[in-house]
Amino acid sequence: MSPTRRRFFQLGAGGAVASVLGFNVQKAYAASRELKIARTTETRSLCPYCSVACGVIIHTLGDNAKNVTPQVVHVEGDPDHPTNRGTLCPKGSSLFQDILNERRVLKPQVRRPGSDHWEDITWDQAYEEVARHIKKTRDETFVEKDAAGHTVNRCESIAWNGGCTDTNEFNYLAVKTMRSLGVTYLENQARV
Ligand code: SF4
């Protein structure tokens, strides 16, 4: 049977040619996909790009030995995730390139006042500097009473903004910590 022109495009060129020749390439496609993620470990996570927070499955190769760094080989949408049900937009589909990218920043960096460049610092330095800035800012700006004399105990000079990959548990701790400092401006990127 000769396929119509419309049917040819519906099937795709490869599928149509295979159909004409009398064999089915779907099994070959399925086999090649199976090979790509065979022996991988699946890790469920969230796309970090936007507030939709789509679920993803990250496939890594590695034998779980302590001296082996797992290698990410594939990222796809999580079909069991209620937000996206397996779908990803083009940004999420390219997440693989975000994970394995030589331009990815892996160390904390700081740009000092008046400086024109970012400087690498250690994690210990980063913790120490952030803690020092928080204490200084809070000490200098803490508001105990508002204009009407009501006790408010708030710190309006610090804000907290979380990312969409933060878990509920992380956000719970973040909110508790910020509230204990009197921080009132709390926000999170995720809208799920
Ligand atoms: S896959 Fe697209 S829509 Fe989903 S979280 Fe990522 S950027 Fe947002």
Taking residues 5-30, report their average pLDDT. 59
Which pair of structure tokens corresponds to residue 91? 């940004």
CB of 88 shorter than 6 A to ligand 1: yes
11 Cα distance to chain centroid: 35
CATH class, domain 39-102, is: alpha beta
Range in 14-28, 98-112, 133-147 with the lowest mean pLDDT:
14-28
Distance 91 CA to ligand 1 centre (A): 6
Distance 57 CA to ligand 1 centre (A): 13
Distance 102 CA to ligand 1 centre (A): 22
d(CA 22, CA 58): 37
* pLDDT (0 to 100) of residue 24: 72
* pLDDT (0 to 100) of residue 68: 78
User: Cα dihedral angle (36, 41, 44, 45), rounded to 10 degrees?
Assistant: -80
Mind listing the pLDDT tens digit for each residue in 113-146?
Answer: 999 999 999 999 999 999 999 999 999 999 999 9
Tell me which range, 33-47, 54-68, 95-109, 143-157, is most confidently predicted by mean pLDDT: 143-157
d(CA 128, CA 110): 13
Distance 168 CA to ligand 1 centre (A): 19
pTM: 0.65
Range in 16-25, 108-117, 127-136 with the lowest mean pLDDT:
16-25
Residue 165 — very low, low, confident or very high, per pLDDT cuts 50/70/90? confident
Q: Whose CA is nearest to atom 4 of ligand 1?
A: 54
Domain layout of the chain by residue ranges: 1-37, 39-102, 109-188
CB of 133 shorter than 6 A to ligand 1: no
CB of 145 shorter than 6 A to ligand 1: no
Taking 90 as the threshold, does the pLDDT of residue 174 lie above it? yes
Return the best residue to mutate from 44, 45, 46, 47 for the ligand 1 pocket (most ligand atoms within 8 A of CB).
47
The ligand 1 atom at the shortest distance from the C-alpha of residue 56 is: 1
Taking 70 as the threshold, does the pLDDT of residue 105 lie above it? yes
